[in-house]
Structure formats: structure tokens, C-alpha cells
């Protein structure tokens, strides 16, 4: 009998574990990114930079969280200067 698991099964287990860890970490990331957004509003206004919405800020934080969890292999890190271009959104069931 072959003791090795097929690569597809290992990939699936890794994906499920990443999603579970991401869900738990979103409970920290979402409030932290909301605080970040509140502090970035006056700074961006003083520096006359483009307005970045709360949804874009949370999406930016989630994209970087996913990049951190897979060490940048699947998703690249997104710099704050590109946060105004982020279209990724976190849904209500993601932290579950």
C-alpha cells in the first residue's frame, strides 16, 4: 500500500488550513485596519493624496494577510501606495 498522499489532497488540506487561520486572524486584522484607516485619513488629506475607503483598506490588509500566510508565493504583497487600486473585499462570512 502506498503511504504517500496524493499532492492534490495535501494541497486541499493546506488550503483549508490557510482559510481557517485566515478566518481567525481576520478578527484582529479588520479592527486594526479600521484604526489604520482612521489615522490615514488626515495624513492623506494633509499630503493631498487620493482618498482610500474603509473597504479598500480592509481589502488591502486582507490581501497582505493572505500573502503573509503563503509567504508571497501565491499572492504578492501590496504596498500602501497601491491601496487605492485594491478591488478585493472581505465578506461577512470570511471571519467565520
Burial of 92 per CB tally in 10 Å (0-12, 13-18, 19+): exposed
CA distance 52 to 56: 6
> Positive or negative, the Cα torsion across 38, 95, 92, 19?
positive
For 77: left if phi > 0, alpha if psi spans -120 to 50, otherwise beta; the answer is beta
pTM greater than the 0.85 cutoff = no
The ranges assigned to domains in the chain are 23-85
How many CB atoms are closer than 10 A to CB 33? 23
**Cα separations in angstroms, 13 against 36, 43, 66:** 33, 42, 16
Average model confidence (pLDDT) across the chain: 82
Q: How confident is the model at residue 93 (pLDDT cuts 50, 70, 90)?
A: low
2-41 pLDDT per residue, tens: 556 667 888 888 888 888 888 888 899 999 999 999 998 8
32-78 pLDDT per residue, tens: 999 999 998 888 788 888 888 888 888 899 888 888 888 877 778 88
Amino acid at each position: 500500500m502506498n503511504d504517500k498522499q496524493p499532492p492534490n489532497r495535501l494541497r486541499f488540506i493546506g488550503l483549508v488550513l490557510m482559510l481557517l487561520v485566515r478566518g481567525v486572524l481576520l478578527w484582529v486584522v479588520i479592527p486594526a485596519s479600521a484604526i489604520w484607516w482612521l489615522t490615514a485619513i488626515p495624513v492623506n488629506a494633509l499630503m493631498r493624496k487620493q482618498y482610500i475607503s474603509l473597504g479598500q483598506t480592509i481589502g488591502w490588509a486582507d490581501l497582505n494577510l493572505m500573502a503573509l500566510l503563503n509567504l508571497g508565493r501565491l499572492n504578492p504583497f501590496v504596498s500602501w501606495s497601491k491601496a487605492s487600486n485594491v478591488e478585493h473585499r472581505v465578506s461577512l462570512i470570511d471571519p467565520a
